[in-house]
Amino acid sequence: MAGPTTAERGAEHPPERSDTSGGPAGPGGPDASGGRPPGRDPVRRRILLRRALIGCVAAVLLAAGAVWALYGSSWLRTEEVRATGTDVLTPRQVEEAAAVPVGAPLASVDTDAVEARLREAMPRIASVEAVRSWPHAIELRVVERTAVLALEKGARFAEVDAEGVQFATADKAPRGVPLVRLDLAGSPGAARFDADRLLTEAVAVRGDLPARVVRETASLEVRSYDDISLRLTGDRRVLWGSSEHGPAKARTLAALMKASPGARQFDVSAPTAPAAAGS
């Protein structure tokens, strides 16, 4: 039996009609947008542009309002200056030396300049931080230097901190602070090690002393880089030598003083071969 003819097959399966726009036809015929790609609708584009413009204007107005509030309004003005952390200095002294422009916008105060003025005007200040305390104050957080030695200068005394900085001069040495005497006359190393260098060495020795020895130290005597000695209460003396091997010398001295409590002289200049003498 012969199969269906070509015409009969074509009648049973008519060819699909393609959309003239190049895409498949939907059930309702060609795309209602007339074939425009998504996102090209002019009405939608105008809406998006309007929203973007409104957002930009709002951002500009918000920024302008913030600038006005910080610099132009009376809401955030500098009305108070507070100093904290003082000991010898008074808060009023620090506040006056800071010269913070009261009445100026708080945001405009140059805190770096305030800190620089204080460090220059008050050598006793080791560090200072000027901080805005919103809405109306500048806080000055001060750390003062602490004297670890008192350098004899004629009839007066210069206070020296742990960094070797001479930051104040007084008629009397601070209570509980050892004196330091620089005796460079005839010292063979005077040309090589000047007074500032030897003062630094004395500060290093002071920093290595045990707390008990510090309390009993009346003075440090410096004749040269490697000739530093201590005068203790009770007419006792310690030959320290140079500032090198300070921690080892400190441990040796503590052991010597415990083993020979009645000794008048202790030699730790060579910590591996210490000596104690006198009674």
What is the residue extent of each domain of the chain?
Answer: 80-144, 149-277
pLDDT higher than 60, residue 1:
no
Side-chain-side CA neighbours of residue 74 (13 Å): 0
**Mean pLDDT within 232-255:** 97
Please state, in angstroms and as integers, the Cα–Cα distance from residue 214 to each residue in 99, 175, 233, 236, 276, following that order. Answer: 39, 12, 10, 13, 19
pLDDT higher than 70, residue 5:
no
Residue 144, beta-bridge partner list: 125
**Pairwise CA distance, residues 252 & 234, whole Å:** 20
**Pairwise CA distance, residues 167 & 164, whole Å:** 9
Kindly indicate the confidence band of residue 7, based on its pLDDT and cuts at 50, 70 and 90.
very low
From 173, 170, 169, select the one nearest 149 (Cα to Cα): 173
**What per-residue confidence (pLDDT) applies to 169?**
95
Q: Which DSSP symbol is given to 151?
A: E
- List the structure tokens of 239: 């030959």
Residue 195: what residue type?
A
Q: Tell me: the pLDDT tens digits for 137-160?
A: 999 999 999 999 999 998 999 999
**What per-residue confidence (pLDDT) applies to 53?**
74
CATH superfamily entry for domain 80-144: membrane protein fhac (3.10.20.310)
Write down the mean pLDDT value for the chain: 84
Q: Tell me: the pLDDT tens digits for 26-70?
A: 444 444 445 555 556 888 877 777 777 777 876 775 665 455 444
**Pairwise CA distance, residues 146 & 200, whole Å:** 16
Element (H, E) at 256: helix 246-259
pTM of the model: 0.72
**What per-residue confidence (pLDDT) applies to 206?**
97
139 neighbors 91 (Cβ within 8 angstroms): no
**Pairwise CA distance, residues 248 & 197, whole Å:** 22
Q: Tell me: the pLDDT tens digits for 161-218?
A: 999 999 999 999 999 999 999 987 766 666 678 899 999 999 999 999 999 999 999 9
**What per-residue confidence (pLDDT) applies to 74?**
61
**What per-residue confidence (pLDDT) applies to 22?**
44
**What per-residue confidence (pLDDT) applies to 46?**
77
Quote the strand ranges of the chain, DSSP E.
Answer: 80-84, 125-133, 137-144, 149-153, 156-160, 166-170, 179-182, 217-224, 227-232, 236-241, 265-267, 275-277
CB count within 10 Å of CB 177 equals 18
**Mean pLDDT within 8-17:** 50
**Mean pLDDT within 68-92:** 81
**What per-residue confidence (pLDDT) applies to 164?**
95
pLDDT higher than 90, residue 10:
no
Kindly indicate the confidence band of residue 18, based on its pLDDT and cuts at 50, 70 and 90.
very low
**What per-residue confidence (pLDDT) applies to 213?**
95
Q: Tell me: the pLDDT tens digits for 107-118?
A: 899 999 999 999
**What per-residue confidence (pLDDT) applies to 202?**
97
The CATH T-level fold of domain 149-277 is: Rossmann fold (3.40.50)
| Chain Cα centroid distance, residue 37 | 59
